[in-house]
Structure 1
Amino acid sequence: MASYDVIVIGSGPGGYVCAIRCAQLGLKTACVEGRETLGGTCLNVGCIPSKALLHATHMLHEAEHNFSKMGLKGKSPSVDWKQMLAYKQETIETNTKGIEFLFKKNKIDWLKGWGSIPQAGRVKVGDEVHEAKNIVIATGSESSALPGVEVDEKIVVTSTGALELASVPKKMVVIGAGVIGLELGSVYARLGAEVTVVEYLDAITPGMDAEVQKTFQRTLKKQGLSFVMGAAVQGVEVKGKKASVRYKSRKDDSEATLDADAVLVATGRRPFTDGLGLEDLGVALTARGQVKTDAHWATSVRDIYAIGDAIEGPMLAHKAEDEGMAVAEVLAGKAGHVNYGVIPGVIYTHPEVATVGLTEEQLKAEGRAYKAGKFSFMGNGRAKANFAADGFVKILADKTTDRILGAHIIGPMAGDLIHEICVAMEFGAAAQDLAMTCHAHPTYSEAVREAALACGDGAIHS
C-alpha cells in the first residue's frame, strides 16, 4: 500500500494546481485521474478547446468583414472543418502534456483510474488501495440533464459533443443563454449556422449587470444570433438526422417548435461526485448535491477536503485553482485564503464580457449608496482603429469612500482588462487611485481609466 501526505482526486484546474502546490510545499502528493490525459473537463472538453474554436472563428469573421476595410484584398478563406478540429485537438494535447510535464517535474504520482474513498485515509484506484493523511476531492462537474431531452452527443449535444460535431450544422438551437451556450453559439454562427438561443428567463447571462445583459444581447443579435426568451423547453424529438425542439411560452402558455440539425443543451452543470462513496462515508452534501465544506474547505469527515465545482460557489476554473492553492497551504500548516468578493467572470465571445464584484442591481437591493462611472469604447482611439468600439466599461464605487465595489466590461480584451480592477479591489483601492494611474496610449486599458475618472469629475474623452 502506497502512502502519501495528500491524494487529490481529479486533475482539472483545481486538482492539478492543488497537487502542484502541495508538492512545492514539501508534501508527498499523488493525483487520481481516470481520463487518458490530465487537465479535467477544462483542458480536454471545456475552456481550452472552446477558446481554440472561438479564436479560429473570430479570425474568419475578421477576414470576411474587416480585412477589406484595412486594404487587405483577396478571396475570403473557406472553412476546412476537419483541419479546424485538428487545430483544436493539437491545442488540447499541448496543454495536457504540459500538465503531465509539471507532474513529473514536481514528483507527483499520477494514479491512473477512477478513484473512490472506501474509508477516511484510503483512496481506491482500480484494485489498488492507497493511504493518505489528507484527501482532496476535486472531481469537478458535468452537464446538467434537462427533462424531456435525451442527449446522444451527435445531434442533441452537451458542450462536449458541440466541440466535435461531424459537420457545421445549417440550423442550431441552443437551449440556455448562459456562458457556454453563447460562446459555442457564437462559434457556429460565425461558421454560417443559423443559431437560435432558447432561454427560460427574460434576460441572457443570469445574474449579470442588467445594462451589460441588454448591450450584449443586442450585439449578439447584430452578429446573427436569434433569441427566444421566456421559453420553457418541453422536449426534443430526433428523426433521422434532424431534431425538433418544442417549447412553451411562459407568458401565454402558447407552444411552438424549432427545427434544427443540432441542438446544444447548455442549461448549466452539476457537481460530479458519483462513485466516490461519499454517502457511505457520511460526507455531508447540500440539497443541490454539492459537498459541504467549512471556511477551510474541510468536509464533515476529518482529513477530507473539497474544492472547485464539487462545492458551492461559481463553477469557474480559476475559482477552483485559487481554492486548490489555498487548501495546499492549509495542509502545509499555513493560512490558505480565497477572496470570494474578487473572482472575475469572463465570456469569450466578441466582444468579450467580464465582470467582478457587485452589480448595480445588488447594490440597490442592499440599499447601499454608490456611484457609477461609465465609458464607451467609442471614445477609445485603439478600439476605433481596430473595429472594436462596441461596448463600455462601468465601475461602481462607494459614494462616500470611493472604494471600488464592482466593475463590468463589454468590449475588446475585457477578460484581460478586468484584472487591473481585480488587483485594485484586492488592495482596497478607490476609483480615484485608478484614475490617477498613468495608462499607456493608445491602449484599450485607457477605457478603464476613463471609467474611473467618470466616478469623479468626469471622463476626458466622452
Structure 2
Amino acid sequence: MADVEKKDTVIIGAGPGGYVAAIRASELGQKVTLVEHADTVGGVCLNVGCVPSKALIQAGHRLEQAKDGATYGISTNDAKIDFAKTQEWKQKKVVDRMTGGVNMLLKKHHVDIVKGDAVFLSDTQLRVMPTGEKQFMSTDTGSTFEFNNLIIASGSHPIEIPGFKFEGRVIDSTGGLALPQIPKEFIVIGGGYVGTELAGAYASLGAHVTILEGTKSILPNFTKDMVSVVLKNLKKKGVDVITSAMAKSSKQDDNSVSVTYAVDGKESTIKADYCMVTVGRKPSTDDLGLEYTKVKLNDHGQIKVDVQGRTDSEHIWAVGDCVPGAALAHKAFFEGKTAAGAISGKKTANDYVSVPAVCFSDPEIATVGYNEAEAKDKGIKVKTAKFPFAGNARAVSLDAPEGFVRFIYTDDDNKNIVGAEAVGPEVSTMAGELSIIVNDGLNVEDVALTIHPHPTLNEPIQEAADIALGFPTHL
C-alpha cells in the first residue's frame, strides 16, 4: 500500500455543501483537500439539478410569452423552439459557466481537488480510489489519507421504484433535463418539487404532461390554498394531474413507454414518449465505509449530527443531503459554513426555522418558518394576514395577478411573525426578505414601517403587515 498522506481538512463531495465548506475552511486558515468522484464540481444541483432545471423553466416561460403576445397587443407569428439550441444554451451558458466559476473559486482558495471515490478505513483514515474502482480496493492504485478533520458532503441520489428501472425511456430527473427533443407525451411520477417544476417546464415547451402523484395532492408539503393556485395554472397548460395514484409497472419499446397505475384499486394504462420518476432522493451514505467509524445513521440512512454538523465521531462532520432535514442547496451552503467554522473553533450552529423553501412552479411558491397548522402544533396561538397579488400594480402589469403573500403572527400584543407564505410571480426573489423577517423575530409593525418601492412585487409584504395591524390600504 502507498504511503499514508497526512491532511488537515478533507471534504468528501464537491456539491453545494462540500465546495462552500471548502471555501470557508480555507478562509479560516485550514488546508483543504476536496475529494469528488465526478468530472465536474458543483454536485447534482449545479450540473443536473436546480440550476439547469431553472434554465429549462425560463426557456418555457419565454416560449409561452412569445406565443401569447396578443395579450399585450403584440402580433407574434407562430413562435417556435429549436430544442437542441436550448439544450446547448443551458449547458454552455449556464451550467458550464457556473461550474467554471466554482472551479475558479476553489483554485483561488488553494483547495486541492482529488478525483476519486472515498472509503473510510477508520475514524482518522480514508482511502480514495479511482472513480468506479472503489469496490476492488486495490493496494496498487489510489491514495490513503490521514486527516485531522473531515466533512462528509456526499449528497443524495434518486430513488428507484419497483417496475421502473432507470433505463431507456424510464428516466430520473437527470435524464429529464437532458432529453434530445421535447416529448409529445410526458409522464411524471411524483408531484413534489422536482416533478412539478419539470412538468410545468415541459408543458410550457409544448408537451402534454401527466403527473401521477401517490398522495392526495401534488406539493404535499405546502398549504392547500397555495397549491390550488399552482394546480389551476398546470391545468391551464393542459397538464393532467392524477392524485392517489400508485405506479405499478412500465413497458417500453424503441419509441414509447406504457405506464400502469392504480387509483382506488382500479388500474389504468397510459402511453408516452418518456416517463420520468421523481419520487424523492436517498442519502448517498451506503458505500462510504461508515461501518469502520463511529458515525451513526438514522432509519432513513441519514448521518446523525449535532447543531454544528459533528457526527458521533469526534473529527468527522456531515452536511447537506446526507444529514436530516430538507434537501436544499442553500441549507447545505449554511451547514457547510457552520461545520467549517466549528472545526476552526468558532461558536457556530445551524438553525433551521428560517430556512426558506422555494418551489419554482408556475407561479412560484416560497415559505419560511411555520405555517398556521405547524404553529398551532407547537402551541403557538397565531393569526394570519393575507394580501393578494390581484391588488399589486406590478403583478397586474405583468399579467400575473394570481396568488398572495401571507404572514403567520402571534395572537398577542407583540404580533411577532413566526412564518410567511407566498405564491405568485417571482416570489422566490422575496424569500430572502421573508427569511430575515422570521429569523430576526420582527413583528408586523416592523414590517409595516419598512417602505417598499412602488410598483414592485415585494409590496404585498408590507401590505400584509398593514392588514395584520388592521389598516389595509390597497385591499
Normalising to structure 1: TM-score of the pair? 0.96
What residue identity is the alignment partner of 2:326?
A: P
Residue 120 of structure 1: CA displacement?
1.8
Residue 216 of structure 1: CA displacement?
2.0
1:131 maps to 2:133: no
List aligned pairs for 1:60-99, cutoff 5 A: 60-65=63-68, 67-90=69-92, 91-99=94-102
- Counterpart for residue 430 of structure 1: 443
C-alpha separation in 2, matches of 1:335 and 1:50 = 36
Comparing 167-176 and 360-369, the one that deviates more: 360-369
The answer to whether the 8 A contact 1:375-1:459 is kept is: no
What residue identity is the alignment partner of 2:467?
A: A
Q: Which runs of 5+ in 2 are unaligned?
A: 130-141
1:143 maps to 2:155: no
SS in structure 2 at match of 1:325: helix
SS in structure 2 at match of 1:245: strand
1:281 maps to 2:302: no
1:209 to 204, 223, 231: 223
Post-superposition CA distance 1:332-384 (Å, at most 9, x none)? 00011222000001111221111111112223434532111101101000110
* Structure 1 residues 259 and 458, CA gap change in structure 2 (3 angstroms): farther
- Counterpart for residue 368 of structure 1: 380
- Counterpart for residue 443 of structure 1: 456
C-alpha separation in 2, matches of 1:353 and 1:458 = 26
SS in structure 1 at match of 2:178: coil
Residue 58 of structure 1: CA displacement?
0.8
C-alpha separation in 1, matches of 2:350 and 2:29 = 21
C-alpha separation in 2, matches of 1:335 and 1:4 = 24
2:313 to 294, 301, 306: 301
C-alpha separation in 1, matches of 2:79 and 2:146 = 56
The answer to whether the 8 A contact 1:196-1:226 is kept is: yes
- Counterpart for residue 158 of structure 1: 172
1:457 maps to 2:470: yes
C-alpha separation in 2, matches of 1:332 and 1:379 = 50
Post-superposition CA distance 1:294-342 (Å, at most 9, x none)? 2221112220111110010000000011000000110000011222000
C-alpha separation in 2, matches of 1:396 and 1:101 = 42
The answer to whether the 8 A contact 2:375-2:382 is kept is: yes
1:218 maps to 2:232: yes
Residue 288 of structure 1: CA displacement?
0.8
SS in structure 1 at match of 2:472: coil
Residue 130 of structure 1: CA displacement?
1.9
- Counterpart for residue 270 of structure 1: 282
C-alpha separation in 2, matches of 1:357 and 1:231 = 30
1:418 to 403, 425, 431: 431
What residue identity is the alignment partner of 1:434?
A: V
1:7 maps to 2:22: no
- Counterpart for residue 415 of structure 2: 402
What residue identity is the alignment partner of 1:157?
A: I
The answer to whether the 8 A contact 1:210-1:361 is kept is: no
SS in structure 2 at match of 1:455: helix
1:174 maps to 2:188: yes
1:36 maps to 2:39: yes
- Counterpart for residue 137 of structure 2: none
The answer to whether the 8 A contact 1:372-1:454 is kept is: no
What residue identity is the alignment partner of 2:279?
A: T
C-alpha separation in 1, matches of 2:250 and 2:375 = 40
The answer to whether the 8 A contact 1:397-1:403 is kept is: yes
The answer to whether the 8 A contact 2:23-2:109 is kept is: yes
- Counterpart for residue 236 of structure 1: 250
Comparing 268-277 and 13-22, the one that deviates more: 268-277
- Counterpart for residue 135 of structure 2: none
2:345 to 333, 341, 345: 333
Post-superposition CA distance 1:57-83 (Å, at most 9, x none)? 111111111x23334323243111110
What residue identity is the alignment partner of 1:17?
A: V
Aligned length: 458
Residue 279 of structure 1: CA displacement?
1.9
The answer to whether the 8 A contact 2:294-2:312 is kept is: yes
Residue 448 of structure 1: CA displacement?
1.1
The answer to whether the 8 A contact 1:9-1:31 is kept is: yes
C-alpha separation in 2, matches of 1:461 and 1:219 = 25
The answer to whether the 8 A contact 1:209-1:361 is kept is: no
C-alpha separation in 1, matches of 2:410 and 2:249 = 46
SS in structure 2 at match of 1:26: coil
Residue 192 of structure 1: CA displacement?
1.1
C-alpha separation in 2, matches of 1:188 and 1:441 = 34
Post-superposition CA distance 1:235-258 (Å, at most 9, x none)? 122133211111111xx3111111
Question: What value does the CA root-mean-square deviation take over the aligned residues?
Answer: 1.3
What residue identity is the alignment partner of 2:150?
A: I
C-alpha separation in 1, matches of 2:471 and 2:425 = 22
C-alpha separation in 2, matches of 1:354 and 1:45 = 22
Residue 125 of structure 1: CA displacement?
1.7
C-alpha separation in 1, matches of 2:239 and 2:396 = 24
